[in-house]
């Protein structure tokens, strides 16, 4: 697996937290595939034990970038609750993102409120829901040419929040260097789909148990702009 750069607040422990939830992540992967209609393209066979993985050449990486480089409009699909219709377990919000080079993807104004959905601390949850949206930088690395597939490493978002009568530095760590955090381009449908996974909440430099389970977010393009 290609190891990508990232700036997690807890270093490699961030990855450990995610990989320990393998069974849950497999469920999320199925959830993602169903949403994006990429069943035939999902690289479910890929994992850290896959000996067939081969590092792409510079030329192959350049070709992958040529295919997906640019700006996109689309939807962020996330787990939600609909009390009027319990079967409706997701919601969507419009988002934009840009792939600028072979290592950087930026999601514009990632909605902070969706990060709070599974937070168990009521005061932190409210503060995070009300926090200003911020751009999310992601480090990417191409790992497959057909379909074009890449790992996605979100750089840990950080928030200066006031709750409980005190100021706190809150960081939301995502899965990194993990096949559950990835993007796939469907050349036939001209759709770029991605999944990133919220994995841990840190407060004032300390890991917490405020996130009751890891949370997948699916991004699906509707238009390249």
The per-residue DSSP string of 16-52 comes to HHHHTTHHHHHHHHHHHHHHHT-TTT--TT--TT-TT
The reported pTM is: 0.81
Query: What is the percent of the chain with per-residue pLDDT over 70, rounded to a whole number?
Result: 72
Per-residue confidence (pLDDT) for residue 12, from 0 to 100: 36
Inform me whether the pLDDT recorded for 88 exceeds 70.
no
Q: According to the model, what pLDDT value does residue 54 have?
A: 80
By residue count, the chain amounts to: 225
Express each pLDDT in 167-179 by its tens digit.
999 999 999 998 8
- In the predicted structure, residue 147 carries a pLDDT above the cut 80: yes
pLDDT, tens digit, 9 for 90 and up, residues 15-62: 333 333 444 444 444 444 444 444 333 444 344 444 456 899 999 999
Q: What is the chain's mean pLDDT, rounded?
A: 81
| pLDDT single digits (tens) 98-141 | 999 999 999 999 999 999 989 999 999 999 999 999 999 999 99
Nearest to 101 by CA among 73, 70, 72: 70
pLDDT attached to residue 26: 46
Find out whether 61 and 102 touch, Cβ atoms under 8 Å. Answer: yes
For residue 90, the model assigns a pLDDT of 77
């Amino acid at each position: 697996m290609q190891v990508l750069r990232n700036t997690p607040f807890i270093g490699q422990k961030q990855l450990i937290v995610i990989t320990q939830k393998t069974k849950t992540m497999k469920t999320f992967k199925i959830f993602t595939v169903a949403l994006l209609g990429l069943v035939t393209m999902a690289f479910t066979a890929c994992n850290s034990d896959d000996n067939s993985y081969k590092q792409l050449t510079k030329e192959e990486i350049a070709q992958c970038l040529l295919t997906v480089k640019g700006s996109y409009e689309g939807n962020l699909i996330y787990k939600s609750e609909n009390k009027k219709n319990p079967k409706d377990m997701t919601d969507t919000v419009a988002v934009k993102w840009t792939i600028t080079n072979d290592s950087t993807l930026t999601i514009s104004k990632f909605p902070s409120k969706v990060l709070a959905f599974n937070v168990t601390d009521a005061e932190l949850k409210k503060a995070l829901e009300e926090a200003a949206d911020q751009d999310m930088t992601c480090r990417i690395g191409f790992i497959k040419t057909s379909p074009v597939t890449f790992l996605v490493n979100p750089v840990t978002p950080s928030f200066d929040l006031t709750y409980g009568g005190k100021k706190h530095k809150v960081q939301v760590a995502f899965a990194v260097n993990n096949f559950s955090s990835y993007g796939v381009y469907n050349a036939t449908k001209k759709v770029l789909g991605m999944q990133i996974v919220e994995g841990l909440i840190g407060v004032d430099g300390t890991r917490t148990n405020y996130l009751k389970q890891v949370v997948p977010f699916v991004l699906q393009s509707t238009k390249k702009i």
